[in-house]
Amino acid sequence: MALDPQAQAVLAAFAGMPPLDFAQLTVPAYRAMLAAGSGLAPGDSVAAEEDLTIPTASGPIAARLYRPALESADEHGDSNTLLPLTVFFHGGGFISCGLDTHANICRCLAQRARTVVLSVDYRLAPEARFPAAALDACNAVRWAASNSGDLRVRPGALAVAGDSAGGNLAAVVAQQLRYSAVNIAHQVLFYPVVDCATEHPSYESMGDGYLLTADMMRWFKSEYFAPDADRADPLASPLAVADLAGTASATIISAEYDPLRDEVEHYAARLAQAGVLTTHLRWPGQMHGFASLLGALDAADQALTIAARALRHALHVQNT
């Protein structure tokens, strides 16, 4: 279908900006550019937000815990019942964004899914190149699973979620921990990067004019990976893994006008072929990153509601 009118309005707001010169652009300059423009809706109200630190062998990782606001008693009629946990990884091309930029998504998922959300501020490139982010993601989920008591969440009720680069990390975690002691009930992936080694046809057909461009993705990868890195490594490219059996059930959202669309949809099909319970939704008329644009796109609110519903079902949280 045609590009959604609200998405057209977002693109029109960016139309007057000079094009990015990726031969000259630096990561600090890109981060500063992102920090200068926000104005997004803050997301749902939650009961509490708590900053904490995750200890790992590679050093401490900052994180933020979101607790949903419940009525006088939760779904089981007991206000003391522990809620499940969803570990969230933010997007940003592996080089930018953080806890604040994706707080609106985390609040909505927490409140609508009735889950505590742990947002992880993994290390960014180029200061910490691949596989630092992937290792941080796996270590954060292992730590969360082992510290349910300190986090005051339900033991054994754990999901992962992420958007774009964060979707990559969530998918990597779901693969890497599938035969471990950590039981991941579900993965929610918003337009994830799942193939860092190959460019799929949508890089050409949707690679320019829709916020995320093919050239931008190439630049992100050049900053994330050292020149000699294996971009088909399982820690980098979930789609490159031959055997996907045993991976956690998945809800995967792709966007029609997204250079990543084809790899995302190929991954969803591969999971289903491997016997993984997979729900894939291609969002018509939308572009990469749309779920973050609360207040600007009705589709953002709708997609977060659907994702939260999937989490709630997978984590065995009954509807109120």
**Nearest alpha-carbon partner for 211 in 11, 17, 12, 22:** 11
- State percent of the chain over pLDDT 70: 95
* 298: amino acid identity, one letter: D
Alpha helices in 75-164 (DSSP H): 103-113, 132-146, 148-151
Instruction: Report pTM.
Output: 0.95
- Position 173 scores a pLDDT of 98
What's the rounded Cα separation, in Å, for the pair 46 and 212?
A: 30
The position carrying tokens 């050409």 is 204
Q: Per residue in 114-157, pLDDT tens?
A: 999 999 999 999 999 999 999 999 999 999 999 999 999 999 99
Report strand pairing: 85-89 vs 158-163. parallel
pLDDT band of residue 81 (cuts 50, 70, 90) is: confident
Assign 294 to helix, strand or coil: coil
- Position 76 scores a pLDDT of 47
Domains of the chain: 5-314 (3.40.50.1820)
Instruction: List active site positions.
Output: 164
pLDDT band of residue 320 (cuts 50, 70, 90) is: very low
Residue 215's CB: how many other CB atoms inside 10 A? 17
CA-based torsion, 263, 265, 269, 272: positive or negative = positive
Averaged confidence pLDDT in the chain: 94
pLDDT band of residue 80 (cuts 50, 70, 90) is: low
pLDDT band of residue 14 (cuts 50, 70, 90) is: confident
What is the chain's alpha carbon radius of gyration, rounded to the nearest angstrom? 18
What's the rounded Cα separation, in Å, for the pair 53 and 263?
A: 34
